[in-house]
Structure 1
């Protein structure tokens, strides 16, 4: 079994990764940080992965995410997925969620640790991956609502 952490480099995803790593010390389960990076420059800019005017390359963002995950826990495995091209941000969010759920099933995740910018503010925001991921009964979900709580 695996502890899966969708990882976008945000403070909450880093906190979720720290929580998963702490939890793994008790369970002995492996930790997998998963970055889902759509091949879309606007999506990357909206998430702060690249600056305005900066060229976008999936490989560069992947390397940045891998470094960020390693800085949280060098023992966690890192994986990157690039969903198929779609035509709108709403469709990209759906593809990101679908990819996370597919990987969760593939790796037989026992718990998915979610720390997204929207998960802590509202229960079911339109753009959050938290709600759709939590609907799957195949694994438990741990939602990290506060980045600072995991670092204390």
Structure 2
């Protein structure tokens, strides 16, 4: 059994990672922390992932690796790059991130995904949430974290 945690550095993602690590220890399972880096500077800027010089993807990944190690040192850290929305007709950055999370979940044979999302599972779903589309896939269970510790 593999437990997967998409991690973007948000408070909810940190709580999801802590919960995933707790489950991994109790169940003696592998834990994978996944960072999906979008190829869209505007998206990164909206989320506060940029500095004055723009979106440094390598620095962003390194910063999140350090945070993952501090929270769950036993986790395997994985970085993937989401495709550019311009390369996927009729797709958004969010859906490209979702597609990447689902692809990795299949590759690692994830049994449970721990995802931090304020909006997953609600009737009204914002287009920028990855929680709802990831949670819709029946191939794995989903543990949704809606409140940061």
Do these two structures clear the TM 0.5 threshold for a shared fold by scoring above it?
yes
Q: CA deviation at 1:121?
A: 7.8
Aligned partner of 2:127 in structure 1 is 126
CA distance in 2, matches of 1:122, 1:137: 18
Aligned partner of 1:138 in structure 2 is 139
Where do 5+ consecutive residues of structure 2 fail to align? none
Cα distance, 1:104–1:61 mapped onto 2, change above 3 Å: same
Cα distance, 1:17–1:120 mapped onto 2, change above 3 Å: farther
Q: CA deviation at 1:140?
A: 0.1
Where 1:128 maps in the other structure, the secondary structure is coil
Q: Is the 8 A contact 1:120 1:145 kept in 2?
A: no
Aligned partner of 1:84 in structure 2 is 83
Residues 92-135 of structure 1 show CA distances to partners (whole Å, capped at 9, x for unaligned) of 11100000000001100000001035449876322111111111
Where do 5+ consecutive residues of structure 1 fail to align? none
Aligned partner of 1:64 in structure 2 is 63
RMSD over equivalenced CA pairs, Å: 1.9
CA distance in 2, matches of 1:99, 1:58: 16
Residues 32-64 of structure 1 show CA distances to partners (whole Å, capped at 9, x for unaligned) of 11010012221111111123x332221111111
Deviates more, 1:3-12 or 1:108-117: 108-117
Aligned partner of 1:31 in structure 2 is 31
Cα distance, 1:16–1:129 mapped onto 2, change above 3 Å: same
Q: How many positions carry a matched residue from both structures?
A: 146
With normalisation by structure 2, the TM-score equals: 0.89
CA distance in 1, matches of 2:123, 2:70: 29
Q: CA deviation at 1:143?
A: 0.2
Where 1:147 maps in the other structure, the secondary structure is coil
1:75 aligns with 2:70: no
